[in-house]
Chains A and B, each alone.
Chain A
Amino acid sequence: MSKHFQFESMMSVSGSNADYRGMVKPSEEANVLSYILKGLEVSTNVPNALSKEVAAIADEAIKDLKAHKGESIVISGSNNKSVQILVNKINSVLGNYGKTMDLKNSVNMFKSEDDKMNKFVDAVIGGKASGLLIFMGTNPVYTHPKGKALGEAMAKIKTSVAISTHADETASRCSYICPDNHALESWTDHNPKMNHYAVGQPTIRPLFNTSSSLESMLVWANKADRSGKDSKVAYDYIKKTWETNGFPSQTKYADFHTYWNMAVHNSCVEMDMPVVEDAAPMTFNVAALSGASSGLPKGGALEVIMYQKSAIGTGLYTANPWLQEMPDPLTKVTWDNYITMNPSEMKEMGFATTFDQENGLNMASVKVGSTEVTLPVYPLPGQAPKTVGIALGYGRGANGENIGKAAFQTKEYGGNVQLENGNPAPIGANVYPFVSLENGTYSYSAVGGLTPVDGVYPIAATQIHHTVMGRHSIVRETTLDIYGKGEKEAYNPTHMLLKLDAEGNHVPTPVGEFDLWDAHPVENIGHRWGMTVDLSSCIGCGNCLIACQSENNVPVVGKDEVRRGREMHWLRIDRYFASDDETAVGTRNENFAFDTAEVAAVNPKVVHMPMMCHHCNHAPCETVCPVAATTHSNEGLNQMTYNRCIGTRYCANNCPYKVRRFNWFNYPSYKKFTEINPAQDDLGRMVLNPDVTVRTRGVMEKCSFCVQRIQAGKLTAKKEGRPVVDGDFASACADACPTNAITVGDWNDLTSMIRKSADDSRSYQALEEVGVKPNVWFKVKVRNEHNAELAKIQTVAHHGGHGEEKETESHH
């Protein structure tokens, strides 16, 4: 198993999945690297002072790196040259080059030329730019730190052209906009990685009067003529390129036609490039190392980090309501950006550290350079002290640019919030101006100041309680050491109850063997659909959530409704921080008390737990519906019959997993949702899946294990005259998961992946003792760390003789 050390300033998705995590300020990143180098017996003139906690983690890292030379990777997300020099030195000392790091096979995707871009922007602002500017697939008036000045200066440019899909911040200031096809309407090709070439084909004919950017370029270069909506200019050009360059460099296919079809079908082709033998192996430029101490990121009393959220990214998706409504994996906040801050520091400064639907967060203004933004302050456990984080990608459409209805704030009864000048109000604040060019690259951290501001800001979060209260029946975690010992009852104890045997003795029996009712006839008869979710693999990215939303026509409800606790996501990802009363998430220690268990630790462990309908075989929801709108199928699914539901909501109240969602309003028609629910927009409505009903108000809905896909899979098998096999069906969430954390299939099929996964020693069922007999299993999260306290708790006491079952000391 790999071991992941993360040193960062604010809790990120990566950090939340790390085995060891140290909190450092951005200016201390170099200290960590220098400390590690010292541990590897390389001295530098870069300072290496670290706090005790971080030094301990760094020591552990040094130990492991030394023991695994050539089997590790050290990387940094910083653009700072000096920092990267230190990183390169470490990898060099460890012998990673040529083993785990292949410089010849570069990934081409984030190549940039920061200083060239900056020169260009300075030239435009200074009036020295040429009379013609062409922007293609870029929006610097928004994303560049000097974007505002750039936008103003563009008025002086004689001819400016934007090839873009929206009249965004840059395009709206150009003299001409050439509406570009959407990526899904275009023929494109790419070189994402060395030797890998890809062809992108359109999935739909252009919906509007747009034209591919490639075609525009070719027309302007006098290499082609415009040919209208069904133009083949781009297609022909790309095909020609592949015929001229791609086809001759390979030997697999004899004729171009087959080669081209396979390239389009597979979309990616790996070329057999001739192996280039280098003259000398890669060596490290020692002189650069001594110069590393200059040009390091500067520190300050408060360091501000401009980060990207998983959903919004650089701001490309600000107008996408699904992504705005996607709860951030760490903060679970939707529809806003905010200032993340260390909760203890917030308490000292008098900021509110808890919030709910009526009690919002306090506000502060952060100033970097000459730009100041005012935002709510969010208590994020794991934030390094003296740092704050603010997400990029917000504050778009500040001048009312038409970038999409959902990019703007909405009012309680519908309609956009308006600024004084009548423009719709952007969501959040734009912190691109905080970014600055430092020694030729952009720095996404800066020194700044924070001042509290009066006022309370309502926050729309899908989760307002952040710990699992030591409930071992819900989240189970262990370490590799404990898991490696192979004793299941230590890390995954069976919940036992006492049963009377024939002689009248009390015998501990697994809770799964108790049953108050007759079972539904699903075990070993026909199909029984089941799912396992591996907590070790789940990184909390949220892909499954969006996949489910898109597959099942889950409505978007907007900020005000999310604030009131009514988001409609069928699948949610619960994110639990460990409190100081837990040695691992879900495992209590001796200090456990209900009140202190509610507060997350300063640098907590994190577990991401996807939650969806468990399709319980003794579903508490099924018994309580007065009109039998929810029933159990003979394949193990809990069926929700929308057209029978009269909306009494007892089923949702009775669900221990709280996975049911009620249609509080008529999302496809009520005015509150016009700006944000795709179903209310003619174009947006095309996103709906025709295989799935769109529900009306007053009806309950929930995860169906993508029953439409199950039926389609069964039908395919039936038409082919064969039994259903593993892989005929996958739910949207399982399909989308990048780490394959979700496995679905037929549990009755002994050879299926899901059966093997569910029978694994790490598998358990959440809240098994409630007796609902779910069809979803979770798998114990294994962390590759040493946790002596946990090892003491997760042990198995062996008793000799007596036939007594294994007694476990692990806490429930």
Chain B
Amino acid sequence: MHKEAAIREPLILGHKTYHDITEDVCKPIEDKAPRMWYILFGIALIIGLYGVGCILYLLGTGVGVWGLNKTIGWAWDITNFVWWVGIGHAGTLISAVLLLFRQKWRMAINRSAEAMTIFAVFMAGLFPLIHMGRLWLGYWVLPLPNQFGSLWVNFNSPLLWDVFAISTYLSVSLVFWYIGLIPDFATIRDRAKKPISKKMYSILSFGWSGRAKHWNRFELVSLVLAGLATPLVFSVHSIVSFDFATSVIPGWHTTIFPPYFVAGAVFSGFAMVQTLLLIMRKAMSLEAYIHTKHVEYMNIVIMVTGSIVGTAYITELFISWYSGVEYEAYAFVNRATGPYWWAYWSMMTCNVISPQLMWFRPLRRSLLFTFIISIVVNIGMWFERYVIIVTSLHRDYLPSSWSMHYPSHIDIGVYVGTIGLFFVFFLLFARFFPVLALNEVKTILKSSGESYKNAPDHGHAESH
């Protein structure tokens, strides 16, 4: 059995047994939902439906209902797309990268984080679809054989790479998440009393028996999928960054984007995980499983990736001067002092200052501070994408085309609607799916559980 140092903080607090873990995770699914769940779900649903309504209006009337114009062809639509995709990266990193690095603290958080990723990618995927002028012909981005010659898609286009990247990301994430859920669904199936529940979870369990052979395969497939998903953490957001980096527009045309965007994605993703988990652990009484140590580790990731992002900002500023390209220099002078200076400075304060505060141990171990900062970071990251997209487009090469962007009600409605829809999905997930990878957490109980760590060494008799 894996022996862990006594001084290392336990990952599971209190005197938990295997049965406790099962009970703690399955009870919220088996019991009636608390009233707060219904209230939150209702609110999220209303907001989500409003967003759907806005989207239908958009599709029926035309992209003109947004605030875009001849100079600024993308604004809130692509800002939201990148924001949501970025948020999704935390789940993949936690599930895949931390698995390969054998980080035990991932066990308690990876299920919800991966769920967050999937729902974030759903929301992200909405935007490239609805921002198209003719969505009903959107299938033309797929390289399917056809009768036009055959007419292939344009493989030079970053938007096309996006199609492959996002669809790969979504499918791999879904598979990885689902495979991980199977043993947990089986646990619920085995405990289920009501016939419909039993039937549903039985289907979802995919025939899991708990045999050693199944566990063996499970471990192997998890490693393989982790291996597949890990490169995606770096490639997907690099490809998304190519949407801008491969263009000629000052402020977009820069090689720093791939690492900058990937770091930013992990940064905002972990912040969103913090926001969701800090609420969830309280609401579902999972404080023993997700506590200060997890929060602290995640804050360290936020601090590192935030510092990378901050360094990237400074680099961009330096290069805008050092390059000697007047358009580049103007792009950054405009960002800092032009009509959108408020967005730029929001971005700078939220993204550069907040992660640096995590150097202080008391702050990074404070749950309240973390919660506030996590929201600040996500606001800052939204502004970062807005600044990159809109300030670069609104004043580019020819001053005669310079314009301003103002969001319309539909811009705001769709964005807020996706937040609502995200929570609809997440609340459904919390209600019907095990939010903790209960079987994975069980594997670390004996090595990292508080009661086990402080107990004397019972030798092999206690090992399971």
Contact = CB atoms under 8 A, between A and B. Distances in A.
Query: Do chains A and B stick together as partners?
Result: yes
B42 interface: no
A770 interface: yes
Contacts of A572: 400
A645 B157 contact: no
A564 interface: yes
Contact of B397 (A358, A624, A770): A770
Contacts of A649: 63, 68, 73-74, 131, 133
A356 B394 CA distance: 12
A698 interface: yes
Contacts of B135: 646
A481 B327 CA distance: 31
Contact of B64 (A466, A561, A661): A561
Interface string B325-364: 0110010011001000000000000000000000000000
Interface in A664-720: 664-666, 670, 696-700
A557 to B, nearest CB: 9
Interface residues of B, number: 55
Interface in A608-626: 609, 611, 620, 623-626
A455 B97 CA distance: 59
A465 B394 CA distance: 11
Contacts of B160: 626
A194 interface: no
A650 B152 contact: no
A666 B399 contact: no
A358 B404 contact: yes
B399 A627 contact: no
Interface in B399-414: 399-404, 406
A653 B73 contact: yes
A665 B249 contact: no
Given A662-B63, A770-B248, A698 B132 contact: yes
B393 A576 contact: no
Contacts of A795: none
A466 B152 CA distance: 43
Interface in A630-679: 644-650, 652-654, 656-658, 660-666, 670
Contact of A463 (B64, B326, B400): B400
- Report whether over half of chain B's contact residues are helix, strand or loop; otherwise say mixed: loop
B411 to A, nearest CB: 13
B243 interface: yes
Contacts, number: 178
A806 interface: no
Interface in B373-407: 393, 395-404, 406
Given A357-B404, A465-B400, A657-B398, A624 B133 contact: no
Counting contact residues on chain A (CB < 8 A from B), the size range is 35 or more
Contact of A647 (B71, B134, B249): B134
Interface string B48-87: 0000000000000111100111111110000000000000
A662 B133 CA distance: 9
Nearest to A769: B325
Interface string B137-164: 1101100000000011110111110010
A565 B154 contact: no
Contacts of B249: 653-654, 656
A670 B62 contact: yes
A575 B158 CA distance: 34
A607 B390 CA distance: 28
Contact of A626 (B157, B327, B399): B157
Given A623-B156, A697-B133, A666 B248 contact: no
A469 interface: yes
A354 to B, nearest CB: 10
B396 A656 contact: yes
Interface of A: 356-358, 463-469, 471, 474, 561, 564-567, 572, 574-576, 594-595, 609, 611, 620, 623-628, 644-650, 652-654, 656-658, 660-666, 670, 696-700, 767, 770, 772, 812
Given A656-B248, A665-B61, 8 more contacts: A594-B330, A624-B246, A626-B141, A626-B157, A646-B135, A652-B70, A697-B63, A699-B133
